[in-house]
Amino acid sequence: MSHLWTPWRMPYIKGETKPKDGGCVFCEKRTSTQDATDYIVARSEYVYVILNIYPYNNGHVMIVPYEHVPSQEDLSIAALTDLMTSINKTLTVLRQVYRPHGFNLGANIGSAAGAGIAPHYHFHIVPRWNGDANFMTIVGDTRVIPDTLDHIYRDLTTAWQELYPANT
């Protein structure tokens, strides 16, 4: 039997990642002052960029509006513009740090579409590499993430600050 070491999943298993008041985890992060602990890579006027703590690949991030709405059509034009600008900046940072061959971009709107946190719209960016669906994914139904969240956070925030120093 093979074992994969994934200590960052233990808080999820213990139920420690849910907001204590039963509220929204994305709204809780919005007001947090602990960006490094919360893996918030960057903030702008209407959105923030955060690591997905259950990633599909290295560098899997989400762009999260500060506003608690279930779908992107509920966002203001200013928030939508900021969302798209932040997506483009994030793509640039991910290209510099990881040199992916491609990306999956998108949002799961509603529980039926696979949204894990359906009441709060968020947008995923997943870097992809040729052959990244290796035998572990196909045979073992297991994703191998070769780096820690702390290292990914450090690399992405460093690159973000180098590319966008006014947004630190």
Q: What is residue 62's three-state secondary structure?
A: strand
Q: Are 93 and 160 within 8 A, CB to CB?
A: yes
Task: Say which amino acid occupies 138.
Answer: I
Rounded Cα gap, residues 65 and 124, in angstroms? 12
| Structure confidence by residue, pLDDT tens digits, 95-115 | 999 999 999 999 999 999 888
Q: Where are the beta strands (DSSP E) in the chain?
A: 40-43, 47-51, 61-65, 102-106, 123-128
- Domain 15-167: assigned CATH number: 3.30.428.10
For 29-83, how does the pLDDT look when each residue is reduced to its tens digit (9 = 90+)? 988 899 999 999 999 999 999 999 888 888 999 999 999 999 999 999 999 999 9
Tokens representing residue 16 in the block: 């420690």
pLDDT bin (cut points 50, 70, 90) of residue 167 is low
List active site positions: 122
Model pTM score: 0.80
Q: Say what the pLDDT of residue 144 is.
A: 62
Question: Any long-range contacts for 128-136 (C-beta under 8 Å, 24+ apart)?
Answer: 128/57, 128/100, 128/101, 128/102, 128/103, 128/104, 129/57, 129/100, 129/101, 129/102, 130/101, 132/57
| Domain segments of the chain as ranges | 15-167
The rounded mean pLDDT for the chain is: 85
